[in-house]
Structure 1
Amino acid sequence: MAYKYIDNYREQGARKKLVEVLRKKGIEDENVLTAIGSMQRHYFFDETFWNQAYKDIAFPIGAGQTISQPYTVAYQTELLHIRKDDKVLEIGTGCGYQTCILMKLGAKVYTIERQKTLYEHTKQVLPYLGYKPNFFLGDGSRGIAGHAPYNKIIVTAGAPTVPEELLKQLAIGGIIVIPVGDESQQKMVTILKTGEHDYEKHVLDTFRFVPLKGENAW
């Protein structure tokens, strides 16, 4: 596999340009920008499509899923306010790019994927790249109750509502970032858990994600 993982001046330069694009689009957290700028996104693409890796676009990764647009990754990550050693639940592992960004920021990541082919591929690739999150195969809309509570929860698929099960698994003082809407477009929603049954909710910009599938979703 090693032949694939080459990072030369061309890719490094493309990442610098991508960071400037994200900065101009409003991403302000320098830690997030540094993580994006140091993460080899082309590793998650077939070599045939490396020229697409540092464009600010989503791209198909198989199983009806996509690798998210870098701006979307940066936007959601910035909203999480990751601190070192935060325990983070990621709903929708996908190819693992978002997972790696979270880990670069010092998070301890528990990530769940419902598509078995993606799960098996990513579980093999990420450790090879030096990233070892806690992988789970299953229904992300139910969370991973056995390892709760979490300081942060990020959902990388569009949900019809905020699953109650995820709110229960969020620690007091914790944040969940989730796109909520119909299957064509969603509003990014952040929820701060201020007490056992108390929440502070903010509805932000419009995005388009693949739908969240599961018992507490579509």
Structure 2
Amino acid sequence: MVEQQLAARGIEDQRVLDAMRRVPRHLFVEPAAAPYAYEDHPMPIGEGQTISQPYIVALMLQAARIRPEDAVLDVGTGSGYAAAVAAELAHRVVSIERHPGLAVEAAATLEALGYRVEVVTGDGTLGWPASAPYDAIVAAATGPSVPPAWPAQLRPGGRIVMPVGRPGRAQHLAAYTLRKDGELHETNLGAVAFVPLIGDQGWPASG
């Protein structure tokens, strides 16, 4: 997976590649799907959610430029896989999930594997102010734009990586850096397809 799907397609951050090697992706999917866990496509995990394909997880975490001393907010815990990879890279990871059942399952998996991730249940579009500030916010769901709550929870120079665009239509993966003047500088990382970022500052639950 790492050599053929990640390194061969331009993932150059050695820390990200090493982290992807260490995290047992097959333990973050349903047992029946475990034989296919390392293939290059997303997989369903319940509640209408998915675990992103390995390349997209690596691309997002590379774009987040996570350092060993950083605090990271992972929006959209899902099965906990991306949070586990982030925990290999960062000092502290908080992961927020709006589906209580997924949050409980992900927290149990992460704890069983020894990953120190704070999994919380709530509206990810509002961030998680109680554990702010963060050096990076990484979201696994597409929003209409950056939720206004997020930049306020970033340290200066902090990064946001998230897909932007309407569900089922054109989306792109965006990497933002919070500048000293408070503005966000955006880099377009290409076309993607994600589930919607639902919440007060995202899409309504009705679609």
Q: Find out whether 1:157 has 2:141 as its counterpart.
A: yes
TM-score by length of 2: 0.93
1:95-174 mapped onto 2 (5 Å cutoff): 95-174=79-158
| One-letter amino acid of the structure 2 residue matched with residue 200 of structure 1 | H
What count of residue pairs does the alignment treat as equivalent?
202
Per the TM alignment, residue 178 of structure 1 is displaced from its structure 2 partner at its CA by: 1.0
1:214 and 2:167 equivalent?
Answer: no
Report which of the two has the higher share of helix: 1
- For structure 1, the 5+ residue unaligned runs are 1-16
Superposition map of 1:160-199 within 5 A: 160-184=144-168, 185-199=170-184
Residue identity in the other structure for 1:217: G
Other-structure match for 1:34:
18
| Gaps in structure 2 of 5+ consecutive residues | none
**Structure 1 residue 49 displacement after superposition:** 1.7
Q: Report which stretch shifted further, 67-76 or 198-207.
A: 198-207
Offset, 1:200: 1.7
Alignment-mate amino acid for residue 157 of structure 2: G
Structure 1-normalised TM-score?
A: 0.89
1:67 maps onto 2:59 in alignment: no
Question: Which stretch shifts more, 71-80 or 167-176?
Answer: 167-176
When residues 36 and 210 of structure 1 are mapped into structure 2, their CA distance, relative to the original with a 3 A threshold, is: same
CA shift in 2, pair 1:204/1:106, >3 Å: closer
**1:12-23 matches, cutoff 5 A:** 17-23=1-7
Deviations 1:28-47, CA, capped at 9 Å, x for gaps? 11111111112111111222
Share of identical aligned residues, percent?
Answer: 38
